[in-house]
A and B are shown apart, each in its own frame.
Chain A
Amino acid sequence: MSGTQLEDDISRAQKQHSQIDMGSEWQRLAPISIAYFTASNIKQFAQFLIYVIPALAISSNVFEMHSASYLISAAVGVVSLMSLSGLISYYFYFFRVHNQHIEVKSGVLNRRHINLPFWRIQNVKVEQPFYYRPFKFASVVFDTAGSADEEAKIVAVPLAYAQKLKKHVLANTFDAQNGSPDVPTAPFHANEENEEIVNQRSMKDLIIHGITNNRVWILLGAAAPFYDNASGYVFSWLQSKGLNLDQLLGGESAAWWQVGLYTLTAIVILTALLALLSIGGALLTLYGYTLSRDQDRYIRRSGLLSKQEVSMKQSRIQVITAKQDWLDKLLGRVNLYFEQNTTGTEQHAELMSPSKLLIPSVTVAEVRALVNGAMPDSQIYRIKYKSVSKQFLTFWLGGWIWPLAILLISISAYHQQWQEVGIILAVSIAFTLILILRWWRWGYGYDQRYIYVRSGRMGQDYQCLEKYKVQQISVVQSVFMQRKQIATLKILLASGTVTIPFISEKDAWEMANSALYAAESSRKSWM
């Protein structure tokens, strides 16, 4: 770039910046925003009304309100109150764009003062309600990684300024993040030849994936022979409580066992269909699955009818999760997820979600290779996992499940309801077994760079996270845990929380302190 061009660029940037910056004076919105506030107040009121309508309907019957003429005046009153509140909201709203920060002061009773640095803004939306259009106004919504409902909003600015602000902030953001946001892009990149294929899935793998990911239905199908007995039991139990299904279903036309048989057949067919559907779904979305790598970027392509492409920068991976449910375990397969920032992005179906990159039904050997590619030197399967303290069981079983069970059992026994005693006992034992499995599976480990967590009940999940990516850390300890020198560690990542319960206090603090140190001393971005 030549000298003059560079100067041009700089002066243009400065000019643009001076146009964006409003100085330290607090600004009021354009008066058109009163319409906006009124509209949003009415919208909120309408949402509230939906819940109140049943109550209103009942009371209008009781008090014979529907004939009253004051209803109209009441409606008029409500609307004018809304506009008044719109006016008040307008008077209490101030904003400024200054020193690369967006600041908003708002609220009448609950005052809020938001500070939002430009470079922490993930996305900018310019919205134009219909009543803004004739006046060329717009509202600007700023997404941060914080959360969807806590975004900042400048309610009414001239459209031209909104566009300029958006452009400026986004340019700033993508300078900082050095790339575009991770959204599904059109397939077939220009530089496909630079890519190196990391993993591919065959038809067989996808059929396995289809089967293993609808385990519940298969289980239901396998349990079919017992439906008859179970339904008979439920039926007689309901009958003993005075509820007669025969009467409900019209006992004249069909005996209850016929109904039972129909239901059973229907369920079996449905189960088979669902299993097929699941395989079909897996094939449809995952057909021709390839995961390739272009320098620091993972790209997955798949799809039978419409080919989809999702790309994710390696540095954006917050945690790697290797999920293995009991059926996966039997077949020796693992579902591997690369998880990134979940907030701020819209909800997607899990398979195509840009926040979770799925590598379906890979073998354990492949997991090692994949994990090492994304998180070098990770010891996800090699590290010796320390188990969680037995206090976990003491707390849940001794503190919650069994006291509650014993209470319920004694109440039932007092009323001589022996069937209920049996049911409560069975449920508590089931909970106990699940908790014991959970305790047995739960383990943790750490090294210089990573923290590892193992969890699960029947299946087994492994997670690996890089220490410097922590967002926030909590250590929780009850009075009893303190006495036993045990604590629960909660690590907040941009992709969600990772909890390691009831571990030794020393380890919890060692992990907490070292993770904080890794983040604060490296000053590396989590994205």
Chain B
Amino acid sequence: MEINDFSNEPVLPDQLPDARVVATHPLSTRYRLMNLISVVVIFSILGIGISILRFQPWLQLPTQLLSVYPLALGVISFLGIWSFAYHWFADPLIRYAIRQQDLILHKGLVFRKVTCQPILRVQHIELKRGPFERLAGLARLQVFSAGGSAHTFEIPGLPVTTAVQLRQFILDHKDLDAR
């Protein structure tokens, strides 16, 4: 390290950069739409599927299975409505921010969670695109740190160009080179 750019001023607790005051950005508006549509599609397929199985004339089903049908349909529609409502309300609340040194993600409907990932601690990066995401032109950026895959930092629902730019920002970051 050059001696010139070394500084070691004392920092008081209230002078520390605060992760709360950073302006955050919303995800692509298509993200919620995509989730809502996929919920509708998946649960409709499930519902129609078991209805076809129930009313088709070719195969005699056991009566026990028949009696479960209304319950199963009820459960499927309940779960469908539940996740539809969840995405409706929760998706717009996901917001992210990029600081010089770290990435910040806000998410959660009842439990609001603010996660902060220092770029210095990034191990590797992945850009993921599922079939629905590719239809919507979106991508998920995953950033891996040490400490387990359950805690992977993920920004979902980014427009592809933004996601690629973000990845490049992280890759070019000098802290990623810290060894």
Contact = CB atoms under 8 A, between A and B. Distances in A.
Contacts of A516: 17, 19, 101-102, 116, 118
B127 interface: yes
Interface centre among B115, B153, B177 (most CB of A within 10 A): B115
Contacts of A526: 121, 146
A214 interface: no
Interface in B96-117: 101-102, 108, 110-117
A478 B114 CA distance: 11
Interface in A467-501: 470-479, 482, 492-497
Interface stretch (A106-114, A132-140, A204-212, A362-370): A106-114
Contacts of A176: 179
Interface in A81-126: 101, 109-117, 119-120
B42 interface: no
A146 interface: yes
Nearest to B153: A472
Interface centre among B19, B130, B145 (most CB of A within 10 A): B145
Nearest to B109: A479
B32 interface: no
Main secondary structure on A side of the interface with B: mixed
The contact size tier of chain B is 35 or more
Contact of B113 (A117, A476, A492, A523): A476
A493 B124 contact: no
Interface in A507-527: 509-510, 512-514, 516-517, 519-520, 523, 525-526
Contact of A497 (B101, B113, B151): B151
A213 to B, nearest CB: 26
Contacts of B175: 520, 523
Interface in B32-85: none
A150 interface: yes
A133 B17 CA distance: 56
A214 B75 CA distance: 45
B108 A476 contact: yes
Nearest to B168: A115
A120 B123 contact: yes
B149 A472 contact: no
A523 B167 CA distance: 20
A278 interface: no
A364 B112 CA distance: 40
Interface in A320-352: 341-343
Contacts of A128: none
Interface centre among B114, B152, B171, B179 (most CB of A within 10 A): B179
The contact size tier of chain A is 35 or more
B171 A517 contact: no
Interface string B8-42: 00010100111110000000000000000000000
Contacts of B178: 523, 525
B116 A476 contact: no
Given A110-B129, A343-B147, A474 B114 contact: yes
Given A144-B124, A494-B146, A509-B20, A472 B113 contact: no
B136 interface: no
Given A115-B126, A149-B149, A523-B120, A473 B115 contact: yes
A146 B124 contact: yes
Nearest to A475: B114
A473 B116 contact: yes
Contact of A112 (B116, B123, B128, B153): B128
B115 A109 contact: no
Interface string A139-152: 00000111101101
A144 B123 contact: yes
A519 B175 CA distance: 11
A496 B148 contact: yes
Contact of A478 (B112, B118, B145): B112
Given A478-B111, A509-B18, A520 B144 contact: no
Given A109-B130, A509-B19, A517-B11, A471 B146 contact: yes
B147 A493 contact: yes
A520 B118 contact: yes
Given A147-B149, A472-B121, A494-B147, 12 more contacts: A144-B124, A145-B145, A150-B152, A342-B148, A474-B115, A476-B112, A477-B113, A492-B145, A494-B146, A510-B13, A516-B101, A520-B175
Interface of A: 101, 109-117, 119-120, 144-147, 149-150, 152, 175-177, 341-343, 470-479, 482, 492-497, 509-510, 512-514, 516-517, 519-520, 523, 525-526
Interface of B: 11, 13, 16-20, 101-102, 108, 110-118, 120-131, 134, 144-149, 151-153, 167, 171, 175-179
